[in-house]
Structure 1
Amino acid sequence: MSLRHRLVNAAVGAGVLASLVAAPPAAVAAAGPATLPASQYTLTANYNQFDAVNSALVSTLGTAAVHTVMDNANHDRTALPSSFSVAGLSTGFRFDSGDNSDCTNYPQGITTSRDAVGTANSGNYDGHQLVLVSWYTKDGCDGGQTRSRITLADWDATYPNKYRKVLLVEPTGTAAAPDFKDIPIHAGGVSWYGDYLYVADRGKGMRVFDMRKILKTNTGGTADQIGHQSGSTYYAHNYAYVLPQVGTITSKTTSGTNLAWSSISLDRVSKSIVMTEYTCSSGCTDYPNRAPRAIRYPFASSGTFAATTTASQALQLPWYKLNGVASHNGRWWFNSSGSKQLYYWTPTAGSSTFAWVGSGESLSYWEDDTAADLLWSLQEGAGNRNVFAVTQATYGGG
């Protein structure tokens, strides 16, 4: 079912329809990016980093296909509240009340099965049209990051309005004694292409996961138990499913400071992943105080990154506190949580600035063969975690 029909099921009852006829936000001219030498930015890819241990984990625990995970989805997503309004709103949802208000877990990145497979077969991956969100977990409401996870939400009228949490883990141990541990990263951006899931790792690049290798784990342990316990028992903080890392994409630059990977997004037109940095103009202690950059890295013809990849585009940006980036067919969007603005830019048309939501996070471009193309995004603030899609044409996309 198309997103136009999903709107009736997911949003009208909550009073969202009124916001669909809101006037488009006024575009304001803005300073634009400057071109940087793309050759100064490279990636080194290793998709086989954990092969031996992962093979042993698969043999020991067994895998669960995505459709099996979704058949066992155990959380109900809800409609957007009537109070939520943003220009060009098409559809969206909220997590259940527990996840919406949880001060120890924060949603960050967003991608969809349309990133993974395109528009064919309604964008279904393993029979499901999905919205995938990455999260990080803190040790208490005021603690540091301890682990990360994803949620898979069904976005198809054929299935219930359900979602399932899957813990991200890093394989450890040996082939003879396989194990896994938590991945305590911010998970600020996520992109799904083919079978591979790419998760931003702030100071390093990306971690790679294979959606065909979700592992089944044991439940019933204590909340802090992770990894091998005894015999064939593996706990994962009571998660029934874990997704083990398969490889690492390492970032390097020959000019200036290393990239601070904030958010990533897939551009299916140019078959590339774009990234941007979260930086401050001044005054930040946990983030760089300098102008941010946006870099485009192309996939090889195989649909994965080559052993070494040189960027195909590099930009110096005039905007700060960027939590989201998207690009499609030569167009760029950047979300600033600091200014509550969405910036649009093309090399020919220049830049425009639009009013945007507060606590905005990542962006994902949703192609549609029968309806308007969309931009998916989300808000991270506890009690106000709206996952929503707007028509991209409302924000300069044309």
Structure 2
Amino acid sequence: MKLRSRLLVGGVAVAALGAALGAPPAFAAAAPVALAASQFTLAANYNQYDALNTALVAKLGTAAVHTVMDNANHNRTGITDSLGIAGYQTGFRFDDGDNSDCANYPQGITTSRDAVGTANSGNYDGHQLVLVSWYTKDGCDGAQSRSRITLVDWDATYANTYRKILLVEPTGTAAAPSFKDVKVHAGGVVWYGDYLYVADTGRGMRVFDMRKILKTNTGGTADQIGAVGNTWYAHNYAYVLPQIGTLTAATTSSAALAWSTISLDRVSKSIVMTEYTCSSGCTDYPNRAPRAVRFPFASGATTFAAATTASQALQLPWYKLNGVASHNGRWWFNSSGAKQLYYWTPADGSHTYAWVGGGESISYWEDDANPDLLWSLQETVGHRNVFAVTQATYGA
């Protein structure tokens, strides 16, 4: 694993604090309860926008991931906050504009290690990358209006840079294609093979293809989106990623799944999801126990079958969950409300650890030469830290 050492200069205080803390205290906790997995299903359509995307590619042309990164125009910096968590290894902060932006919020996290595994140092198209999903509001107090991803170089071979890509949904006709904003919370994201899966709270997941990044015009006004005559705009983004399909969730339960966040389990070749719920008193979220569900990919593929039945389902004793990860039979859940990370296996039971405030999604980072990591991030304005801790610090 080639980690850019100079990033640690800004994070020396954090790393030193983590080392001083040692292993965090683990407290016994209530345990998840198994549910009937057969009540949860996914219907996959990867060809939903084929005709429109073919037309868009013909008109705009595509940009490979390495081209996007060659044109990265933002600089990440070292973490200067004292995160106060054990096992801290490394991380970064977004630039000052993104760190203090009250209209955009980072949510999901995945990496090129999810996409391709540990081979070739986890490089996708020549780059080892951390990918973060964001949602955008119309101003600091406005309604949610669009979603984007950020590709961040994480390799000593390249500069400390990142690039933003707008997520869009194809519209129009094959003769006159266009696109519009994707208005989802983007609370979780998984990169597997060439496909990017983005959580859609009330539906399931939206699917994108990382080989189909489109080039757009950075002129125009900030509110322009889609075709304007023969010119294509995307809120001044130079690149957009069009949706290719949808994974629609269904259940025989009385309560539909609320897709708060997702994560990849490379061992079992599945995506796991969990829900953000409250024990009581919430008006914008369900007031009930949350669930976590595992959906397996089609055998030997990075796609789901046309119809998929869940292979595992759990009812959880914890609330306000913004992060989930699973690997080799183990589970982790992050509660932003409690500032705690929960670890559980059927054999070892549950344990609770202190965690960061404003914590969001989790991504498991496999490593053949070094300890495995858990990557996560904070959404808090002024403290947009993306960080990694040793997995072994938080469970066996």
TM-score after normalising by structure 2: 0.98
Q: After superposition, where does 1:242-281 map in structure 2 within 5 Å?
A: 242-281=240-279
1:264 is aligned with what amino acid? Answer: I
Q: What's 1:361 paired with?
A: 360
Residues 49-84 of structure 1, C-alpha deviations (whole Å, 9 max, x = no match): 000000000000000000000000000000000533
* 1:17 positional shift: 3.3
Distance 2:108 2:266 in 1: 17
Q: What's 1:241 paired with?
A: 239
Distance 1:172 1:13 in 2: 44
Residues 315-337 of structure 1, C-alpha deviations (whole Å, 9 max, x = no match): 00000000000000000000000
Q: What's 1:299 paired with?
A: 297
- DSSP 3-state at the match of 1:294: strand
- DSSP 3-state at the match of 1:18: helix
Q: What's 1:9 paired with?
A: 6
Q: What's 1:161 paired with?
A: 160
- DSSP 3-state at the match of 1:261: coil
Distance 1:390 1:181 in 2: 37
Distance 1:71 1:17 in 2: 30
Distance 2:377 2:316 in 1: 22
Distance 2:64 2:303 in 1: 21
4+ residue segments displaced more than 3 Å: none
Residues 279-317 of structure 1, C-alpha deviations (whole Å, 9 max, x = no match): 000011110000000000000022210000000000000
Distance 1:17 1:209 in 2: 36
Distance 1:82 1:297 in 2: 36
Residues 137-174 of structure 1, C-alpha deviations (whole Å, 9 max, x = no match): 00010011000000000000100000000000000001
- DSSP 3-state at the match of 1:69: helix
Q: What's 1:204 paired with?
A: 203
* 1:100 positional shift: 0.2
Q: What's 1:289 paired with?
A: 287
Distance 1:19 1:89 in 2: 8
* Residue 338 to residue 387, structure 1, CA distance change in 2 (3 Å): same
Q: What's 1:374 paired with?
A: 373
Residues 199-237 of structure 1, C-alpha deviations (whole Å, 9 max, x = no match): 000011000000000000011110000000012x10000
Q: Percent identity?
A: 79
Q: Is the 8 A contact 2:332 2:344 kept in 1?
A: yes
Residues 12-50 of structure 1, C-alpha deviations (whole Å, 9 max, x = no match): 344233124122110000000000000000000000000
Q: What's 1:152 paired with?
A: 151
Q: What's 1:185 paired with?
A: 184
Residues 98-155 of structure 1, C-alpha deviations (whole Å, 9 max, x = no match): 0000000000000000000000000000000000000000001001100000000000
Q: Is the 8 A contact 2:263 2:325 kept in 1?
A: yes
Distance 1:114 1:19 in 2: 27
Distance 2:11 2:327 in 1: 31
Distance 1:224 1:212 in 2: 26
* 1:256 positional shift: 2.1
Q: After superposition, where does 1:305-344 map in structure 2 within 5 Å?
A: 305-344=304-343
Distance 2:344 2:338 in 1: 17
Q: What's 2:74 paired with?
A: 75
Distance 1:352 1:144 in 2: 37
- DSSP 3-state at the match of 2:337: coil
2:235 is aligned with what amino acid? Answer: H
- DSSP 3-state at the match of 1:363: strand
1:170 is aligned with what amino acid? Answer: E
Number of equivalences: 393
Distance 2:254 2:31 in 1: 20
1:272 is aligned with what amino acid? Answer: S
- DSSP 3-state at the match of 1:68: helix
Distance 1:85 1:212 in 2: 39
Distance 1:82 1:230 in 2: 47
Distance 1:251 1:267 in 2: 19
2:246 is aligned with what amino acid? Answer: T
1:210 is aligned with what amino acid? Answer: D
Q: After superposition, where does 1:212-227 map in structure 2 within 5 Å?
A: 212-227=211-226
Q: After superposition, where does 1:42-121 map in structure 2 within 5 Å?
A: 42-121=41-120
Distance 2:70 2:205 in 1: 29
Runs (5+) with no aligned partner, structure 2: none
Runs (5+) with no aligned partner, structure 1: none
